[in-house]
Amino acid sequence: MPRKCRNCVFWELSPLCAEAALEVGDPELEKEAWISQTLLEWGSCGRLAFHGRKPAGFVVYASPKFVPRAAEFPSGPVSADAALVTTVYVVPELVGKGVGRQLIQAAAADVRRKGIYAMEAFGDSRAEKDACMAPADFFRSVGFKTVAPDRNYPRLRMEMHGAITREAEAAADHDMQTEIDLLLLDSSSMALVKEGTGSPRQRGLQGF
């Protein structure tokens, strides 16, 4: 996870608390505390992707009740029956190689195991560089549909009935160009990324 993402609490704290954390606190510790609390109360909430020895990207998702920022979007609220995908990030050199799709599919499989059959996301339609959210067009490309239009931040939804959506599976046939390992996002995997590189298999950790 890039340092700027490890230090970002855009989703994890309310705007007021996030501002305080940036001014007088430690955002990275706040992020780790959020991950630990969500793991304890809701279960797995993300995946880290590795390509060989190098981090390739990550996805974070949770119940909307764990995501204070979700209440701030005009296209909200997130539906009560859905998990919220907050962030999807892929390293620049692997963009367009199917890593983002694999991350979404891993998230969908995990969410379904919790008995949740829909995921929603707020997409960025502004093409803002270094935004804390993924482009709306990315979510559409992996099977999400717009359910609440908005000029800047539309809310999108993926329904999952018995399997990952047919659109996502069909597109995956020609989009999976990069083999990756997927590791549960927790304090141990965050430490792994801080230390440098090293894939889950090479470090003796079990991937997804």
The distance in angstroms from the start CA to the end CA of the chain is 17
State the average pLDDT over residues 42-58.
91
Residue 191 has pLDDT above 50, yes or no: yes
Helix (H), strand (E) at residue 166: helix 166-175
- Residue 58 has a pLDDT of 94
State the average pLDDT over residues 142-149.
97
Higher pLDDT, 111 or 52: 111
What percent of the chain is modeled with pLDDT above 70? 79
**Shortest CA distance to 127 belongs to which of 147, 151, 145, 158?**
151
State the average pLDDT over residues 83-90.
96
Say what the pTM is: 0.83
Class of domain 3-195: alpha beta
Residue 44 has pLDDT above 70, yes or no: yes
Q: Which of 45-49, 97-101, 112-116, 130-134 has the lowest mean pLDDT?
A: 130-134
Instruction: Name the band, by pLDDT with cuts 50, 70 and 90, for residue 26.
Output: confident
Query: Is the sign of the CA dihedral 149, 153, 155, 158 positive or negative?
Result: positive
Residue 136 has pLDDT above 80, yes or no: yes
- Residue 170 has a pLDDT of 47
Task: Name residue 28's beta-bridge partners.
Answer: none
Instruction: Name the band, by pLDDT with cuts 50, 70 and 90, for residue 46.
Output: very high
**Residue 127 token pair:** 């093409």
* Helices 15-24, 27-41: crossing angle, 10 deg rounding: 130
User: How does pLDDT run across 3-18, given as a tens digit for each residue?
Assistant: 778 778 889 988 777 7
Task: Name the pairing type of β-strands 83-90 and 118-122.
Answer: parallel
**Shortest CA distance to 43 belongs to which of 75, 9, 66, 12?**
66
Higher pLDDT, 130 or 114: 114
Instruction: Name the band, by pLDDT with cuts 50, 70 and 90, for residue 127.
Output: confident
